[in-house]
Amino acid sequence: MFSRSPGFTLIELLVAMLLLSLIFVLLTSALQFGTNAWSGRGGQSDGGSSEVLSAQGFLRSVFSTIRPVMVEADPTHARHVYFVGLDHSIRFIASLPERVGIGGFYEVGISLADGDSGRVEMSWRLFRSGDNSIPERQVELISKANSIEFTYFGSRAPNDPPRWYSDWQSVDHLPDLIRMRIAFNDANRFWPDLVVAPMIRSLDLIIDPEHIAE
């Protein structure tokens, strides 16, 4: 009487290799399908997807360094943070990446350029309280945009439940989240919602309202 030694037979090994080959083919096909589907959203070629990814990465780094610089109260406004968030534009104080400017705080604005250019632009200048002479620089973030929309999530007052607002200004703290949407005339171009939480929560810097640069 013969006993079978432990291990796999040749047939079992061939079957296992065949199954592994089928699994590999299925995974490769799924990956190729996903890549083609994502590329298709941006058009037949790149379709501007690299521009969108680059702009979103840059904006995420800028939004995450927004500083809650406080503006003292005046006859028309209570003490509030220097942050002007509207539905079509946004302005704040932040530190910028080293490739953009030297160290320090900057007044930063983002909006859709006037006219039919379709340019989403960012402007910035070094922040110096009361100094209006510092020149402002501009750069194009996105081209061929049809519209831009900002919304802001948070609680404006201690007892208010958090929700999305179409504007955020004259509030004594930053919003919890900032959402930026861009629409294009070209249906093949796609901008995923950019949602960023400002990371800085407190800052011992207070300025007089009369010293805010126009």
The percentage of residues in the chain with a pLDDT greater than 90, rounded to a whole number, is 38
More confident residue, 202 or 160: 160
In this prediction, residue 12 carries a pLDDT of 76
Return the higher-pLDDT residue of 82 and 38: 82
Q: Which residue is it, tokens 């990465």?
A: 57
Neighbouring residues of 180: CB distance < 8 A, sequence distance ≥ 6: 59, 110, 148, 149, 150, 193, 194, 195, 196
| pLDDT tens digit sequence for 137-194 | 899 999 999 999 999 999 988 889 999 999 999 888 899 999 999 999 888 889 999 9
- At 87 the pLDDT is 96
Q: Between these two residues, 7 and 142, which has the higher pLDDT value?
A: 142
Domain ranges in the chain are 49-211
Give the model's confidence band at 214: pLDDT under 50 very low, under 70 low, under 90 confident, else very high.
Answer: very low
Among candidates 15, 22, 181, which has minimal Cα distance to 90?
181
Residue with tokens 């900032």: 178
| pLDDT beyond 50 at 213 | no
CA atoms within 13 A on the CB side of 191: 28
Mean pLDDT rounded to a whole number for the chain: 79
From residue 99, how far is each of 73, 93, 109, 119, 142 by CA, in Å? 35, 17, 18, 21, 18
